[in-house]
Amino acid sequence: MRMLTVAVMAALLAVAGLAGPAHARTTAPRVTAKEVYLIDAATGTPQFARRETRRVPVASLTKIMTAYVVRRSASLDAVVTITKADVRHAAANGAARAGLKAGERLSVRDLLYALLLPSGADAAGALARTYGPGVRRFVGKMNAAARSLGMRDTFYTNPDGMPQPGGDHSTAFDQVTLAKTVLADPIVAQVAGTKRHAVAKTPLHRGHVWKNTNRLLPDDAQGLKTGYTRPAGYCLMFAAARDGRTYIGVILGERTDAARYRTARSLLDAATAAAAAA
């Protein structure tokens, strides 16, 4: 009878979350974004999913695909000349800029930093114009790359993610696929994970200092990209190592800048706790 009573009490405590397996006590992440997807990078196992296949704009996360296409098309040491059109396009659309000036000549390597750290639409325009050649052909390459990667619910209309007639869209699921792909490229991974990059003045260009817009760096993540437009909301593509595991996540349609980082940290904390309890 005593043994039966102990067994019943243990069962009741386990149901209440006061005893039993550790995973019974893990806390669900606090997620306020509209679309979210988080995976274990090594296994591809989903850790959290919310409307991950819903088609929505992804703002400047688009520039990760721009970097991917450039890496397949250009030498890092190749030199690109900035034009008035590159600068004018970014300024006219109110986009984030890297402060480039017409006539400057910068390497592709440096322009990747200008593209991904301050999220420069001027750098995106210069790279797309050069390696399309022409922006329209470059966007065609972006969409071809998306198809080749199995990103079936993704369509790009420009290389910078600014709102444009024609309706660019992707999904959290597809963007995680892209993130996993580009992390295998050591150059893109290095650039996207850099907090600050300085370019010294030369006869070819002015001096520049670019700071990464990703506030998870360097302690909470290894990269990859932020984004914001009014239609897309606050977006974040990130990768982080926790306790020997790497997690890759995408947050879309978040309400505020601060909220996207809270959501990312909460997702990572919950995934880490679940892995420890398994």
Is 119 an active-site residue?
yes
- β-bridge partners, 38: 48, 249
**DSSP strand E in the chain: where?**
35-40, 46-50, 79-81, 105-107, 196-199, 208-211, 223-229, 233-242, 245-254
The Cα 201–Cα 230 span in angstroms is: 35
Is 75 an active-site residue?
no
Cβ–Cβ < 8 Å for 112, 190: no
Q: How many residues are present in the chain?
A: 278
Query: Of 84, 107, 119, 148, which residue is the catalytic one?
Result: 119
Query: Of 60, 107, 141, 170, which residue is the catalytic one?
Result: 60
Three-class DSSP category at 244: coil
Cβ–Cβ < 8 Å for 56, 227: no
Query: Of 63, 107, 141, 170, which residue is the catalytic one?
Result: 63
Q: Would you say 225 is a known binding-site residue?
A: yes
Whether the bond into 106 is cis, omega within 30 of 0: no
Three-class DSSP category at 40: strand
Residue ranges for the known binding site are 225
Residues at the annotated binding site for substrate? 225
Which of the residues are catalytic?
60, 63, 119
